[in-house]
Copies of this chain bind each other. A is one copy, B any other.
Amino acid sequence: MSEGGGKDTRERILRCAEELFGQRGYEAVVVADIAQACGVSTALIYYHYTDKESLLRALVERASAVFDVHTRTAVEGTGSARERLETFIESWVRSADEHESLLRILVRPLTDPGGPLSAELLEGIGRTVEDLAAVIAEGVEGGEFAPVDPGMAAECLLGLVNTRAAASVLSKLVPGEPVEPVRANADFIVQLFFRGTSA
């Protein structure tokens, strides 16, 4: 049967933890649940990871790697401020759709400060807001956008794309889904954010 090596199991454990932490939150998940979800013993988890918290830490690193790219390219990329923000929205929403659990882990401290690793996570969120604010400020100074407060606009923009962390829950609540929900939602946010703002 060749059960695959230890690296494979290590990854499987992390994936199960990702799903469970994302769905129920760190505190509500017990290590035995993770073990059962991927059909191994509790002890094996402690063979591969030192802590329950180290599992979370591994997931946070993975999540940061996925989502930080978008702000970096928005800041460093070429094109007008509006173009860069548009691609930011589209790629962020697409990532949110692919890795909803990871996004939930990232943004949880916003409504749940005080949990483990929340200090680091909030720092990361702060950097993201500042990066977005910088791009928006650039657009305002260049006369590309209406004169808004860049900080508040960035907060709202991030809040708007982070609403997608609840996408799977919301889709069960609101009956009529568009055919391509991800694209439709990204388009809607883009329009909402830019309609009428161009100078």
Taking Cβ atoms with an 8 Å cutoff, the residues of A that contact B are 23-25, 27-28, 104, 107-115, 122, 125-126, 129-130, 133, 146, 148-149, 151-156, 159-160, 162-163, 165-166, 169-170, 172-176, 178, 184-185, 188-189, 192-193, 195-197
Q: Is the CB of B115 within 8 A of A104?
A: no
Whether A115 contacts B169 in the complex (CB less than 8 A), given A156-B163, A178-B152, comes out as no
- Judge whether A122 and B152 touch: CB under 8 Å: no
Q: Give the distance in Å from the alpha carbon of A28 to the alpha carbon of B108 in the complex.
A: 13
Closest chain-B Cβ to A10's Cβ sits at a distance in Å of 26
Residues from chain B with a CB closer than 8 A to the CB of A122 are 169, 172-173
Q: Which of B23, B27, B130, B188 contacts A149 (CB 8 A)?
A: B188
Determine the distance from Cα of A169 to Cα of B148 in the docked complex, in whole angstroms: 22
**By the criterion CB–CB under 8 Å, are A188 and B153 in contact?**
yes
Complex formed: what's the CA distance from A155 to B159 in Å? 12
Sorted from nearest, which 7 A-B pairs have the closest CB atoms?
Answer: A196-B196, A159-B163, A110-B166, A126-B173, A27-B27, A195-B196, A27-B28
If A152-B185, A195-B196, A196-B196 are given as contacts, then 4 extra A-B residue pairs at C-beta distance below 8 Å, sorted by A number, are A25-B115, A151-B175, A160-B160, A192-B192
